Amino acid sequence: MPNFNRRDALKMSAGLAAAAGGFSCIELAKAGPIDVPTIDKLSVRVIVDSASDVFFKPAEVAGVKTEPGRSANSLRPLHSEWGLSLFLEPQRGDVKRTLLLDYGWTPEAINGNLELLKIDPSKVDALIMSHGHWDHLGGMMGFLDKHRKSMPADLTMYAGGEDNFCQRYNRNGKGELSDFGMLDRRDLAKRDVKVMLCESPTVISDVAFTTGKIKRNSIEKVLPNTVVEFKLKDGAGCNWSHYLPAEMEGKIVPDEHIHEHATCFNLKDKGLIVISSCGHVGIVNSVRQAMEVSGIEKVHAIVGGFHLGPARPDYLTEVVAEMGKLNPDVVIPMHCSGLNFTQEAQRQMPGKVLTTTTGTRITFGI
C-alpha cells in the first residue's frame, strides 16, 4: 500500500472540503499510541435492533445488568428493524458523556424509539459510525434533520475511515446489483457535522476509544455480504487512493470492510468492554485489536453484532471457541450475531451470555 502521512491527510481534507462546498468537515485522527481513559460506569440503551420482546425480564451476569425498556405510549410499541443503534452513557467520577453509536436502517425507527423511550438527543456529545452499511447509517440524516439544532455546535462524528463512504451494493442470485446506499460527506457538511476518520486508534470525549483499523490475525474471515465500489466523484464516494493500489479505481469487489472499527471502554477494576456493531472483520480480531491498542488484557464484556448468523456450523463452533479463549466475563450478542451464535455461545460458555431486545438498558459498573 502507498505511504500515507499527515501532509497527505491535510491535502485530502482540503480536497474533500472543497467538494463539500467549502465546509472543512474532514479530519484524520493522529497516528500513535493513545492514553486509554478509565470509566466507573457505562449504560448502554438499545435504541434499534431487530428483536422485540414484551416479556423480556431483567437479568444479571458478572455484575452486568439488563432491564427492559418500555414504550412511554401504550398504544405505540417500540419499532424493531434490521439494523443497530446504541445510546452510550459512560461516567468517570463526576464526568458524564453521551455517545450515539450507529443509527439503524430508517429515521422513523431511531427517532420514534428515542421519543418512546424518553431519551433526549440534545445530550449527545459525539456521534460514532462503525462501518458503511445502510442498516447502521440509514437513519442518520433523518436523525440529524430532527435533532441537530439542539445538539452541540461543534458536533463530531467518529468514523472508522475513508472506506465508510464507499458506495455499496447487494448482489442477488443472478449476479445483479442493487443499491445498498452510500454516506455522502456533503450531507454531513450541510448539517455542520465534522468527521474524524479513525483509521488509527482514537480517544473519544475522554471516556471511550476506538480500535482503529482492525488487524486480521485470527482464524476468522469476512463472510459474504455486500460488494463495494472504490470511486470518488464530485465529493461523493470514497477516496480509495491512500489505502489501495491505483488499479482499484472504479472496481466493484467483495466487501472486506477495510475501516470497520469497534468502540471500546476500560471499566475500572473490570477490564475492557468491546462493542462491535457488526464484526464483519471478525469479533475475535476486534477484541484482540482492542487489547493490543489499550495494553489491557482483561476482557470484561464483548457486546454487539458479530455477523455470525450466516456462519456454517463448523466455522461457528471454531469462532466461539476462540472467543472463549479471550475469557470474557459476559457476552451480549445483538443484531447480526444470529440465534445460532447465541445457542453455541451458551453451550460453550454457560452462564456468560446475556440477551437483549430493542429498548433494553445494559448497565456496567456500580
For 20-47, write each residue's pLDDT tens digit: 433 345 677 777 789 999 999 999 999 9
The confidence score (pLDDT) of residue 25 equals 59
What count of residues does the chain have? 366
CATH number of 6-72+85-364: 3.60.15.10
DSSP string, 211-226: --SPP--SS--PPS--
Which cell numbers hold the place of 111?
Answer: 427517532
Which cell numbers hold the place of 13?
Answer: 481534507
- Cell 445530550 identifies what position? 123
% of the chain surpassing 90 pLDDT: 87
Q: Pairing relation of β-strands 299-305 and 208-210?
A: unpaired
Domain ranges for the chain = 6-72+85-364
Which cell numbers hold the place of 43?
Answer: 449504560
- Helix residue ranges per DSSP H, 209-326: 283-294, 313-325
Cα 233 to Cα 27, 169, 239, 256, 258, distances in angstroms: 19, 17, 9, 22, 20
- Cell 475492557 identifies what position? 272
pLDDT digits (tens, 9 = 90+) for 300-317: 999 999 999 999 999 999
Strand partners, 178: 170
Cα 126 to Cα 90, 196, 253, distances in angstroms: 12, 11, 32
- Cell 466523484 identifies what position? 233
Average pLDDT over residues 189-216: 96
Which cell numbers hold the place of 149?
Answer: 439544532
The overall longest dimension of the chain from CA atoms, in Å, is 57
Strand partners, 305: 334
Least confident residue range of 21-30, 103-112, 234-243, 309-318? 21-30
- The secondary element (H helix, E strand) that includes residue 236 is strand 236-237
Q: What is the DSSP letter of 130?
A: -
Q: Please give the backbone phi and psi of residue 274, each rounded to the nearest 5 degrees, phi first.
A: -110, 120
Report which residue type is found at 226: T
- Cell 464483519 identifies what position? 280
Q: Are 72 and 116 a contacting pair, CB within 8 Å?
A: yes
Rounded to the nearest integer, the mean pLDDT of the chain is 92
The CA-to-CA distance between both ends of the chain, in Å, stands at 46
CA atoms of 186 and 361, how far apart (whole Å): 34
Q: Please give the backbone phi and psi of residue 184, each rounded to the nearest 5 degrees, phi first.
A: -95, 115
pLDDT digits (tens, 9 = 90+) for 125-184: 999 999 999 999 999 999 999 999 999 999 999 999 999 999 999 998 888 999 999 999
Q: What is the DSSP letter of 54?
A: T
The confidence score (pLDDT) of residue 174 equals 83
pLDDT digits (tens, 9 = 90+) for 2-21: 333 433 443 444 344 434 43
Buried-state track 152-188, b at ≥16 Cβ within 10 A, e below 16 = eeebbbbbbbbbbbbbbbebeeeeeeeebbbbbbbeb
pLDDT digits (tens, 9 = 90+) for 150-160: 999 999 999 99
